[in-house]
Amino acid sequence: TVADLQGLKQGQLKLSVITTAKYVIPRLLGPFCQRYPGIDISLKVTNHEGLQERLNDNLDDLYILSQPPATPDVCCHEFLDNPLVVLAPINHPLASQKNIPIERLNGEPFIMREPGSGTRQAVQKMFEDRGVAVKVRLDLGSNEAIKQAIAGGLGISVLSRHVLTLDGWQHQLTILDVEGFPIPRQWYAIYPSGKQLSVVARTFFEYLLNEGKQAIENSTRLAQQQSE
Ligand code: PGA
């Protein structure tokens, strides 16, 4: 477009992000939009499978996910850690224990993300590799609902540590110190390698890679100070 040719930073940015990135990306967009008031954003939040479909259909400018697709034809840049942790209600019998052997989770009531979720895949792989059989009580397609279910005593779960960001859950949920956890993962920003990014998309991509981590830390610190 003409705006692209002139290098004007205005237009639309279409992003799609996996469910856990919604705890972080919207907070990054504030400072970004202040810097570039001409940029409008459309943000889609979905699970790993949904994101893969959007990528295949070339629906967005940039995609944020934690398992890079197996296909080689994407440009893929890591920008932040996204560890998976074991979450339990604060009064769980294992809450105060250190170095809990993973076998100890055998038979433990468990709340699992829905099929199509990248979190689910990673958790299932870990349990399979280690021969652990949890007792899945519930399949739930929402990190928020899983937090509620854990707090309500339905079981434990494994979710991204980012789902705990900013919201006072420390009074209801705790992270169990289980051997093999956290499962280390990262968030990646990706786009099809054949695709020429618009000026707007390139501007956001560079912002994310160069300043994303710092901007997230700043906004988390600010929110923590305000809640103290
Ligand atoms: P999911 O991905 O929503 O597909 O589970 C989240 C994540 O990988 O952090």
Calculate the alpha carbon distances from 22 to 106, 144, 217 in Å: 31, 11, 15
- Report pLDDT digits (tens) over 190-204: 999 988 999 999 999
| Residue 157 to residue 144: CA distance in whole angstroms | 12
Q: Is the CB of 160 under 6 A from ligand 1?
A: yes
| Residue 62 to residue 23: CA distance in whole angstroms | 17
**Full-prediction pTM beyond 0.80?**
yes
Output the residue whose Cα is nearest ligand 1's atom 9: 20
Q: Is the CB of 189 under 6 A from ligand 1?
A: no
Expressed in angstroms and rounded, the spacing between residue 125 Cα and the centre of ligand 1 is 14
Least confident of 122-126, 207-211, 216-220: 216-220
- Report pLDDT digits (tens) over 44-95: 999 999 999 999 999 999 999 998 887 778 999 999 999 999 999 999 999 9
For this complex, say whether ipTM is above 0.85: yes
Nearest ligand 1 atom to the CA of 159 is 9
Nearest ligand 1 atom to the CA of 21 is 9
| Residue 20 to residue 212: CA distance in whole angstroms | 15
Residue 227, pLDDT above cutoff 70: no
Nearest ligand 1 atom to the CA of 117 is 4
Least confident of 25-34, 40-49, 150-159: 25-34
Expressed in angstroms and rounded, the spacing between residue 136 Cα and the centre of ligand 1 is 18
| Residue 84 to residue 63: CA distance in whole angstroms | 20
